[in-house]
Homo-oligomer: A and B are copies of this chain.
């Protein structure tokens, strides 16, 4: 059985490995977990001993099948709890991440099964991210960043690749939340921002924001 800290490391390695090809680097993990590279090296050795990761010094790490299964299970728990907090306890989607970071470590498979059943076996969390089922499987449809839409292309907001509270709050403010239909009008060449039509309203969004909004196009 893994400790909270080990679970957190596995989850971060899992998320980082989805953003990059090749191995996950020590500094990237340290940044995410907000600790020192030396602490990461120490933990990598432990996780390797437990056959949860493949680790060669200076060469980065990859998850083993066992490590990936463990990480996916924690992600599943995190996302089910986030949905519960929003759907049942009326939290906003930007308020749930930290709470779910704690709830995800409760070690009770039956609890998670009951929660899954109670929520109606949902496929996605409040941010649009896929919720793995009890076997670790989930849909991963091809999504495209809003910043990559071409003029006149339309799509629906179905996810975000940035989960910070401030980012999510901002999206709510500008009414670019999950389910919103969007039409690309123009990409402003000079600063990369994008002009959009959202519910009959023209609005401009920076490239930095647009690159974190995930769309399913029509």
Binding site for B on A (CB under 8 A): 85, 88-91, 95, 98-99, 102-103, 105-108, 110-111, 114-115, 118
Decide: B99 and A106 in contact? CB cutoff 8 A: yes
Query: What's the least CB distance linking A119 to chain B, in Å?
Result: 10
CA A99 to CA B103, docked complex, whole Å: 11
Q: How many copies does the complex hold?
A: 2
Per the bound structure, the CA–CA distance linking A173 and B115 in Å amounts to 27
B-side contacts of A90, CB under 8 Å: 114
Given the interface contacts A89-B115, A90-B114, A118-B89, does A106 sit within 8 Å of B108 by beta carbon?
no
Query: Of all chain B residues, which has the CB nearest A4?
Result: B4
CA distance A108 to B85 in the complex (A): 12
Contact, CB under 8 Å: B99 / A108: yes
| Chain B: minimal CB distance from A149 (Å) | 37
